[in-house]
Structure 1
Amino acid sequence: MKSILISGANIVNEGEISRKDVLVKEGRIFSVAPDLSEWRAQVDTVIEAEGLHLLPGIIDDQVHFREPGLTHKAEIYTEAKAAVAGGITSYMEMPNTVPQATTLALLEEKYATAAARSLANYSFYIGATNDNVEELLRVDPARVCGIKVFQGSSTGNMLVDNAETLEKIFAQCRILIATHSENDHIIKDNFERYHQEYGDAIPMHLHPKIRSEEACYDASKRVVDLARKYGAKLHVLHISTGKEVDLFDAGIPLEEKRITAEACVHHLWFSDADYAEKGSLIKWNPAVKTAADRERILEGVLKGHIDVIATDHAPHTREEKAQPYTKAPSGGPLVQHSLVAMLDLYHAGKITLEQIVEKMCHHVAILFEIKERGYIRPGYWADLVLVDLNRPWTVTAENVLSKCGWSPFEGHTFKSQVTHTLVSGHLAYANGHFDESQKGQRLAFERKPF
């Protein structure tokens, strides 16, 4: 493996920004120091990083890469490349594929595919169903990121709506439980009301009325109550309402939290005012809601109620998205643009660089207890991303790397650009060019028993 010297970068790490050099050897961070110029003649590659900012590689705890079975939308190969170009070095992928990853055997098939095809590091959730609790109990916490529970039906429906099953999962499973929390009964009642009025042509701006605040809060409160009852480790994904934020504690060290929450980039960026222009391109589950919800979610991120920021990257084709409301699927591609979107919020004065790194790198590593990643520390794997904060570029269909070929950000000019991405010490991406000679690694977890 090639040795790499990153010279003169502004390192954003552990709450500080400092100008230092970083030496990478054998895939790991060998040294971080103000001056490592004595290594210049000995390394294979020198990256001149003067004026650039060096961050730990982004860890995305929620993506849908659609393989197997839905590869007309996306593949592990294409979406991992898009992720790396966006500064994401590790991802955790969801089980609602075809077939659904609800057994250890099917899960290992996905790991084998990623080992052969993923440019980024990877882990996969096992999916819960109403009747696979015994299989969930066989999961090795050191090798799998977590269990995914869908409380609301969504793309590739895996709804867990049996109360007894939910109780068993929270009472018996000793691994992180990640939930998609929406009350399906409330959603169905809302849908029927609007469907009677509009038929299949329900206006897109009514999506947050159908997948409503009440549906989200009810389901999130239910799993929070279950986690408290049984002492389970719960992670509630993609918080979309301001009301939900108050379900989660702030002011507690993340290492001590049993109940955590995630915000997604689209809920921090868009609001219901954007349906008029974007339509189904911003149709997600749970729905993008009001500007007040968006601001409250960001406040929750900054104050510590919400612990991590992710994407819920979930591509569909343009043709699928162009269908009427009742047929247009929810979800969209985000991995290529999540970091630069957050950097735009930094430029707008809404979040600091240190907070972005905390929520997209450090906290994901802490929450999932990922081994030797998420920080710029000697001995850790060299998952690193260099960004130029002042290199504007405009998103077009031609520069979208996700297989679906579109982005909700098309036409937007980002202020910052990812220049280099190292994955486990391998320079996988540099100024628009990929080196695919080395694939990513399976994430390992150092978990304390509970």
Structure 2
Amino acid sequence: MNTVLIKNAKIVNEGKITEGDVLIENEFISEIASSISAKSSDCNIIDAEGNYLIPGAIDDQVHFREPGLTHKGTIASESRAAVAGGITSFIEQPNTVPNAVTQELLEDKYQIAAKTAYANYSFMMGGTNDNLEELLKTNPRNVAGIKLFLGSSTGNMLVDNEEALEKIFSSTKMLIAVHCEDEATIKANLERYKLQFGDDIPVDCHHLIRSEEACYLSSSKAIALAKKTGARLHVFHLSTAKEMELFTNAIPLEEKQITAEVCIHHLWFTDADYKTKGNLIKWNPAVKTANDRAALWEALLDDRIDVIATDHAPHTLEEKSQNYLKAPSGGPLVQHAVVALFEAHHQGKISVERIVEKMCHNPAKIFKIEKRGFIREGYYADLVLVNPNLPWNVKKENILAQCGWSPFEGYTFTSRVTHTFVNGQLVYHNFKVKETPVGQRLLFNR
């Protein structure tokens, strides 16, 4: 039997921090108490004095690049980086190559993950203008949801036919997650900047091309359609102050039909950072202004925004080093998301309890994930120890994403993930990943 006893931890769960012990037996949390004694001589005891014990974070939006884009990353490489960062479950997006827009292509990804994932996994089924029949075959028990790109993406994934869109919204009971940017607005803006700059558009124009208006037009339209059809809608990576008026905190999360996510980069960076970071912080939707960032924080803390995720989307440095028009959007974030939030905690912006609510509890609630996202007896032992005062510097040698760079490179974080457990197995300890993929397919209570 695999038995681990974590002692003297600051257990962060369901809005409280309590000092105590947690016993792991095989895959599960078997006991939580103020004091637990080891039941056998082969029990592995970890003294967590002064450290926080949190549920493993659940990242509801990642791009791990496999199949088809494996020069950027693989399910193995990026899930290794995830567990090093305290993320024990991920939901991956369908814009791989080929796009996961049939049940067979979707299942191919599950087969890869079953052999190579270091964290628990689920994959979104991708919607297009013409695959409604395939979407309706999706099993709600073992697939996280349906993903729609309402702004351009890889391959045939832009859903811009209004009739097709309404059919998808009205036909499925599954959660629909959306990337919202209005394509016509972006194209018009881009042409204007091309006239002004030719092919040498400065990257700090990115948030003006993929503008506030492009985001608001698309997200407001998706929300109106969800209200009209009764669809269960989850809006990914919000980036503007204006969009915050579209969401409510007047009802409990469990009763919301429309939920919202914000990503680490939109909470951390602003348009002022383009001068030093350049294409390394080129994301879609774009990093916007300090006013937008402040509004996102406000909405996160008053519960209009429900979840914090990463939108981890690695590209090679060579790809990112091209000029603005050629450089792809996205960057690696799974290894540094949890500690970035703890840095915000040190800065007085957010409590540790709220970090856990937004990164662990709420994704589990929104997707109805079975037995994960909380520190509860009988739940899977997906657990993370964070030392709040163990500074470390992000440098090439300790970056685990395959692309080998990070927008946080050179930054010294105050807190550090020291231990990560996935399904009761210690998979990460002090910058070392145990080379055994133990991730399991996520199941959903629906």
The normalised TM-score by structure 1 is 0.98
CA shift, 1:38, in A, is 4.2
Partner in structure 1 of residue 77 of structure 2: 78
Superposed, which structure 2 residues align to 1:91-240 within 5 Å?
91-156=90-155, 158-240=157-239
CA shift, 1:156, in A, is 4.7
Matched, 1:255 2:259: no
Q: Is the 8 A contact 1:420 1:430 kept in 2?
A: yes
Partner in structure 1 of residue 397 of structure 2: 398
* Secondary structure in 2 matching 1:221: helix
**Distance change in 2, residues 1:419/1:157 (3 Å):** farther
Partner in structure 2 of residue 291 of structure 1: 290
Partner in structure 2 of residue 317 of structure 1: 316
Matched, 1:13 2:13: yes
Q: Is the 8 A contact 1:5 1:43 kept in 2?
A: no
- Could you tell me how far apart the structure 1 residues matched to 2:2 and 2:380 are? 14
* Secondary structure in 2 matching 1:358: helix
How many residues get paired?
446
Q: Is the 8 A contact 1:211 1:287 kept in 2?
A: yes
The one-letter code of the counterpart of 1:373 is R
Partner in structure 2 of residue 65 of structure 1: 64
- Could you tell me how far apart the structure 1 residues matched to 2:219 and 2:42 are? 51
Partner in structure 1 of residue 24 of structure 2: 24
Matched, 1:307 2:306: yes
* Secondary structure in 1 matching 2:246: coil
* Secondary structure in 2 matching 1:224: helix
Structure 1 window deviating more from structure 2 (155-164 vs 29-38): it is 155-164
* Secondary structure in 1 matching 2:421: strand
Q: Is the 8 A contact 1:84 1:336 kept in 2?
A: yes
Matched, 1:245 2:244: yes
CA shift, 1:398, in A, is 1.5
Provide Cα deviations, 1:355-404, integer angstroms capped at 9, x if missing partner.
00000000000000000000000000000000000000011112110000
The one-letter code of the counterpart of 2:75 is I
Unaligned runs of 5+ in 1: none
Matched, 1:87 2:86: yes
Partner in structure 2 of residue 374 of structure 1: 373
Q: Is the 8 A contact 1:387 1:416 kept in 2?
A: yes
- Could you tell me how far apart the structure 1 residues matched to 2:271 and 2:384 are? 32
* Secondary structure in 1 matching 2:71: coil
Unaligned runs of 5+ in 2: none
Q: Is the 8 A contact 2:116 2:437 kept in 1?
A: no
Matched, 1:55 2:54: yes
- Could you tell me how far apart the structure 1 residues matched to 2:41 and 2:163 are? 62
Partner in structure 1 of residue 4 of structure 2: 4
CA shift, 1:84, in A, is 0.1
Q: Is the 8 A contact 2:423 2:438 kept in 1?
A: no
Superposed, which structure 2 residues align to 1:340-359 within 5 Å?
340-359=339-358
* Secondary structure in 2 matching 1:246: helix
The one-letter code of the counterpart of 2:19 is R
- Could you tell me how far apart the structure 2 residues matched to 1:432 and 1:328 are? 30
- Could you tell me how far apart the structure 1 residues matched to 2:41 and 2:138 are? 44
CA shift, 1:42, in A, is 4.3
CA shift, 1:353, in A, is 0.3
Matched, 1:33 2:33: yes
- Could you tell me how far apart the structure 2 residues matched to 1:344 and 1:179 are? 29
The one-letter code of the counterpart of 2:247 is F
Provide Cα deviations, 1:206-245, integer angstroms capped at 9, x if missing partner.
0000000000000000010010001110000000001111
- Could you tell me how far apart the structure 2 residues matched to 1:426 and 1:109 are? 26
Provide Cα deviations, 1:84-135, integer angstroms capped at 9, x if missing partner.
0000000000000110000111111100100100000000001001100110
Q: Is the 8 A contact 1:154 1:285 kept in 2?
A: no
- Could you tell me how far apart the structure 2 residues matched to 1:133 and 1:20 are? 50
Provide Cα deviations, 1:417-440, integer angstroms capped at 9, x if missing partner.
000000011111112222233520
- Could you tell me how far apart the structure 2 residues matched to 1:157 and 1:290 are? 31
The normalised TM-score by structure 2 is 0.99
- Could you tell me how far apart the structure 2 residues matched to 1:42 and 1:19 are? 24
**Distance change in 2, residues 1:426/1:80 (3 Å):** same
**Distance change in 2, residues 1:431/1:384 (3 Å):** same
- Could you tell me how far apart the structure 2 residues matched to 1:38 and 1:99 are? 50
- Could you tell me how far apart the structure 2 residues matched to 1:391 and 1:166 are? 49
Provide Cα deviations, 1:147-204, integer angstroms capped at 9, x if missing partner.
0000000345611100011000100011000000000000000000101111221000
CA RMSD of aligned residues (A): 0.9
* Secondary structure in 2 matching 1:286: coil
Q: Is the 8 A contact 1:155 1:330 kept in 2?
A: no
Q: Is the 8 A contact 1:167 1:226 kept in 2?
A: yes
- Could you tell me how far apart the structure 1 residues matched to 2:437 and 2:404 are? 25
Q: Is the 8 A contact 2:128 2:156 kept in 1?
A: no
The one-letter code of the counterpart of 1:392 is P
**Distance change in 2, residues 1:264/1:156 (3 Å):** farther
* Secondary structure in 2 matching 1:96: coil
Partner in structure 1 of residue 430 of structure 2: 431
Q: Is the 8 A contact 2:96 2:154 kept in 1?
A: no
Matched, 1:271 2:275: no
The one-letter code of the counterpart of 1:365 is A
